[in-house]
A and B are shown apart, each in its own frame.
Chain A
């Protein structure tokens, strides 16, 4: 069990640039989630996938954000035309089944700083 892997761990970008984060879930997990966490706050749900299907998106996910999970394996989260308000940690998580009682396993997060 290698855990949920995220890359890069840290990204500093200039306002207006595009950034992409990658998440590799635990291999047997078909559910994948993206959350955003700002300093001093709890994680906020952004979106999730079951296999390759994106099943729900939060209203926090503006049209500058796009997430994909081709072939139901790894996922990418792209932010276009970054703004300073996008500075946060982006957390990926996965779980083996679509039931609320099952454990969701988080990666170590990707820190984004927009300058």
Chain B
């Protein structure tokens, strides 16, 4: 079946450090891939997405490239801020109904 695996958190960084969150997936067919972010006490917000192999999604300084050969969609940001502290979820969508399957989430804590 389909699955998403994310690196475990928490990931603790200093402000302006480089962030990488690993995400790998298992899926049949050609999934779309997403990164969502969840701030404390809030729902999920779409951060970026990629719908086919080699696509790069980007938003707010975050980037992720859809790598079909390694079945990965790692999230990166070159210089994090305290406001980036949140839980980040990798997700895949495989069916025509738009249903998403999520990873367990990775908590990121950025300290001043």
A42's partner among B96, B98, B104 (CB-CB below 8 A) is B104
- Whether A95 contacts B104 by the Cβ 8 Å rule is no
Closest to A100 in B: B93
The reply to whether the CB of B101 lies closer than 8 angstroms to some CB of chain A is: yes
A103's partner among B43, B49, B101, B104 (CB-CB below 8 A) is B49
A43's partner among B32, B44, B94 (CB-CB below 8 A) is B44
- Whether B32 contacts A101 by the Cβ 8 Å rule is yes
- Residues of B close to A4: CB separation below 8 A: 43
Closest to B4 in A: A42
User: Number of B residues contacting the other chain (C-beta, 8 Å)?
Assistant: 26
- Residues of B close to A101: CB separation below 8 A: 32, 49, 51, 93
User: Number of A residues contacting the other chain (C-beta, 8 Å)?
Assistant: 30
- Residues of B close to A40: CB separation below 8 A: 104-105
Given contacts A100-B32, A101-B93, A106-B44, contact A41 B98 (CB under 8 A): no
* Total A-B Cβ pairs within 8 A: 73
Q: How far is the CA of A50 from the CA of B51 in the complex (A)?
A: 22
Give the residues from 75 to 104 in chain A that come closer than 8 angstroms, CB to CB, to chain B: 91, 93, 95, 97-104
The reply to whether the CB of A22 lies closer than 8 angstroms to some CB of chain B is: no
- Residues of A close to B51: CB separation below 8 A: 100-101
The reply to whether the CB of A65 lies closer than 8 angstroms to some CB of chain B is: no
The reply to whether the CB of A28 lies closer than 8 angstroms to some CB of chain B is: no
Binary A-proximity of B92-104 (CB < 8 A = 1, otherwise 0): 0111111111111
List residues of B whose CB falls within 8 A of some A CB. 4, 31-32, 36, 42-46, 49, 51, 89, 91, 93-105
List residues of A whose CB falls within 8 A of some B CB. 4, 6, 31, 33, 40-45, 48, 50, 55-56, 91, 93, 95, 97-109
| 22 A-B pairs in the complex with CB atoms less than 8 angstroms apart | A31-B97, A33-B98, A40-B104, A40-B105, A42-B4, A43-B89, A45-B101, A48-B97, A48-B98, A50-B97, A93-B44, A95-B98, A100-B31, A100-B96, A100-B97, A100-B98, A102-B98, A103-B49, A106-B36, A106-B43, A107-B43, A108-B43
